[in-house]
Amino acid sequence: MKRKNNKEIEKENEKEAKPSYQISIFGASDSGRSTFSIQFIKQRFSEEYDPGLEEWYKKEIKIDGTEIEINFTDTVDPEPYLIFQVEYLMRYTDGFILIYSITDRNSFLEIPQFYNKFVQIKDEDYFPLFVVGNKIDLENQRQVTKEEAEAFCNERNLPFMELDCHNYQQVESVVIQLCKEKWLRKLLVPKKECELPDEFTLPSIDIQSSSFQFDCDKIFQDKINTDVKFSFVDNSNNQGYSSFDAHQAILASRCFTFGKIFRGLKENKLEEVQQTCSNAKLKLIENKGEILTLSTEYFSIQSFYSMIRFLYSAIIDEEVKKSVELSNDLLSVAEIFKIDSLKQIMNKNISLLKNQNQNQNQILKEISDLLSNEMITISNRFAMLLRKSPFSDFRIIIKEDENTRERRFFAHSPILSQRCKYFQLVLRNEMMEKKKEEILLSDISFDSFLLAIEYIYSDRFLPPNLTSAKQTENTKQIIQANKIMLELLIICDYFQLPRLHQLCQKDLMENLHEDMLVFALNVASQCNAQILEEFCMIQIGKNFQKFKKDPQFKNYLDQEQKDQIKKYQFPPENYIKYHKKFKVKLAKIWTY
C-alpha cells in the first residue's frame, strides 16, 4: 500500500473534514506490537505470526461521537535500520506507542533506548508518546514491576498503562488517549505560518517643550500694540531721551505700582496717580490717545528695561547676571517697585558675584527655583487677565449655538498673536485694519475653547480629571470629557496650536472610552491627529469582530478607513481563519 505523506493526509482532512491520525508502535521483538495492532484494527487477538518490516493498518473509530481515521504502523526492528526507520516515521507520525512485555525484562530495558533515540531525532519540543506494559494476564511470569515502569514514565511526563492485548477496551483506550492528546496539541500550537504575531504597540507622543517663557519675552521684545512708553534722559551723549514701549495690561497684572498708576488714569484719579508716580520716581508726561508716556531721570534705562523684561518673562539679562553694579541698580529699582522676587534674586546674585557665600551651587539652585516660581506667577497672572482686565484691547465672544447665551473673554492682542498663529493672522488682517473690538466665534464649545484660551494665556493644560470617574466606571462623565477633548482637538487644529494638539491627543489616548473610539478616529483623521488616529485603529482592531457590527463603524467611517483598520485587526484575519478551521474540526470531534 502506498503510504500517504503528512501533507496529503492533511489535505484529505480539510476536504472531508474527517480528522486522520498516524500512530506508530515500537518495541522489542516479542513484546506484542503486532498483537496490539491487530487487536486494535481487527478487534481480535491474533496468534498468527505476521512477518514484514512494517505493516500498515487503517481503521475508523468514533471518539466522543466523531469519526476519526486511524492509520496504524507496526514496526519490525532489524537494528541497523532502526534509526533510519524512526526518523522516517517521525515525519508523519502523530503519536507513538512504546510497548514492552512485563514478562521480559530485556524488552523493558529497550524502552529507555527507544525513548532516547526519539529525543535525539525529534525536532519538536513535544511529541505524544504512550508507554504500554503488555501481557499482564501473565502475572506469574512478571519480570518488570509496575512501580519501576511508572517511575520511569513519571520522570519524563509520559502516559503509561499496563494491559493485556486480549482486552480490546484497554488497547483502544491507549489509542484514544494518544489521539486526544495529539489533537489538543495541534490546537494549542498552530503551524509556523499561523503563529500569533506580536500585538501592535500603541503609539506614544513626545510632547514638544514649552515655548511659554520665550513667547512672553517675545511679547515684550516685539512691542506689538503697546500702550505705554517709558522715557529716560540719556546721559551718555546728551541727545535727549531714549525710550521703550510696553503693555499696560501685563505690567498692571504683574506689579502693584504700575496697576495703581494705569488704573488710576483710567478712572481719572489724577492726584492718586501723581502720588504713586512720585513714590516710584516716575513722571507722567503724556496721556494722549492710546499711549501713556512716563519718564524718569532716576533710573538708568538698562535697569528699568531689565525690570520690565523680568516682569514679562522672568528672564534676567546676561549683563546683569555678570555685573555687581548692574545687579545693585536692578535691586534698587525692584525695591522702589516692591518686586520681592526680583529683590531676592538680585541679592543672591550679588552674593554669588562677590563670592560671599561658600555654597555657590546652592545659591544657583535657589535662584533657579525663584525664577521657576516666577514663571508660575506669570502664568497665573496671565490667566487672570482673561477674566477681568480694564486694559484688554478687544473681546472674544463665544456662541455655542442658537440656544445658548454668549460668553465673553477679555482679550489681549499682543498675547494672542504671539501665542497663536490663527489670532496672529486674524488680528493683523481684521483688527488692525477695521479696528474691530470683538471677534465672534460661533458653533464652538465653550468648555473646549476655555481650555484652549487658558492654554494660550498661561500655558496651562487642565483637562477634566477622570480619576474617580474611571474608578466608579462613570461612562457618562468619561464620554462627556472625551467630547470636550475631541472638540479641543478640532480647535487646536483650526487655531494652529501644535503643542496643545499633542497634549490633547495624549490625554485622549489615556482616557478615551471604548464607545468613543470610532468617533474619535473620525475626528482625529479630520484634524491631523495621526497618532491618535493610529491609536484608535489599533484599539478598534483589537476588538474588530465587535466593532465591525457597530452602526457607528458602518456609518462614520469610509471604506479607506475600514480597510486601514483591517490591517490593525488583532489577531490578524489569516490567524483567525486558521483557528476557525480548527475550531470547526474540534466541534465535530469533541463536545467539552
Ligand X SMILES: Nc1nc2c(ncn2[C@@H]2O[C@H](COP(=O)(O)OP(=O)(O)OP(=O)(O)O)[C@@H](O)[C@H]2O)c(=O)[nH]1
State the residues that interact with ligand X by CB under 6 A.
27, 29-35, 47, 49, 76, 134-135, 137-138, 164-166
Phi and psi based region of residue 544 (left: phi greater than 0; alpha: psi -120 to 50; beta: remaining): alpha
Q: Which three cell numbers stand for residue 542?
A: 483589537
Cβ closest to ligand X, residue 164 vs residue 507 = 164
What pairing do the DSSP bridges indicate for beta strands 129-134 and 160-162?
Answer: parallel
Cβ closest to ligand X, residue 35 vs residue 392 = 35
Q: Is 50 helix (H, G, I), strand (E, B) or coil?
A: coil
Cβ closest to ligand X, residue 71 vs residue 257 = 71
Q: Which three cell numbers stand for residue 433?
A: 485694519
Cβ closest to ligand X, residue 118 vs residue 578 = 118
Instruction: Give me the least distance between CB of 121 and ligand X, in Å please.
Output: 21
Cβ closest to ligand X, residue 50 vs residue 195 = 50
| Contact of 412 with 388, CB cutoff 8 Å | no
Instruction: Give me the least distance between CB of 127 and ligand X, in Å please.
Output: 21
The closest alpha carbon to 324, from 355, 293, 298, belongs to 355
Cβ closest to ligand X, residue 54 vs residue 515 = 54
Instruction: Give me the least distance between CB of 21 and ligand X, in Å please.
Output: 21
- Cis check for the bond before 571: say yes or no (omega within 30 of 0): yes
Q: Which three cell numbers stand for residue 69?
A: 481515521
Instruction: Give me the least distance between CB of 73 and ligand X, in Å please.
Output: 12
Q: Is 142 helix (H, G, I), strand (E, B) or coil?
A: coil
Cβ closest to ligand X, residue 36 vs residue 409 = 36
The secondary structure of the chain in percent helix, strand, coil, rounded to multiples of 5, reads: 60, 15, 30
| Contact of 44 with 36, CB cutoff 8 Å | no
The torsion defined by the Cα of 381, 385, 390 and 394, in degrees rounded to 10, comes to 150
The closest alpha carbon to 391, from 254, 283, 271, belongs to 254
Q: Which three cell numbers stand for residue 115?
A: 525513548
Instruction: Give me the least distance between CB of 97 and ligand X, in Å please.
Output: 11
Instruction: Give me the least distance between CB of 192 and ligand X, in Å please.
Output: 36
Cβ closest to ligand X, residue 134 vs residue 458 = 134
Instruction: Give me the least distance between CB of 87 and ligand X, in Å please.
Output: 20
| Contact of 285 with 293, CB cutoff 8 Å | yes
Instruction: Give me the least distance between CB of 161 and ligand X, in Å please.
Output: 12
Instruction: Give me the least distance between CB of 105 and ligand X, in Å please.
Output: 15
508 Cβ neighbours under 8 A, 6+ residues apart? 482, 485, 486, 489, 520, 532
Q: Cα–Cα distance between 358 and 356 in angstroms, integer?
A: 7
Indicate the DSSP class of residue 297. S
What pairing do the DSSP bridges indicate for beta strands 283-288 and 291-296?
Answer: antiparallel
Cβ closest to ligand X, residue 47 vs residue 147 = 47
Q: What would the DSSP string read from start to end of 55-82?
A: EEEEEEEEETTEEEEEEEEEE---GGGH
Q: Cα–Cα distance between 590 and 277 in angstroms, integer?
A: 95
b or e along 564-579 (b: 16 or more beta carbons within 10 Å of the residue's beta carbon)? bbeebbbbbeebbebb
Instruction: Give me the least distance between CB of 541 and ligand X, in Å please.
Output: 56
Cβ closest to ligand X, residue 163 vs residue 420 = 163
Instruction: Give me the least distance between CB of 36 and ligand X, in Å please.
Output: 7
Cβ closest to ligand X, residue 113 vs residue 465 = 113
Instruction: Give me the least distance between CB of 137 and ligand X, in Å please.
Output: 5
Indicate the DSSP class of residue 514. G
| Contact of 27 with 34, CB cutoff 8 Å | no
Cβ closest to ligand X, residue 160 vs residue 423 = 160
Q: Cα–Cα distance between 43 and 205 in angstroms, integer?
A: 69
Q: Cα–Cα distance between 79 and 421 in angstroms, integer?
A: 87
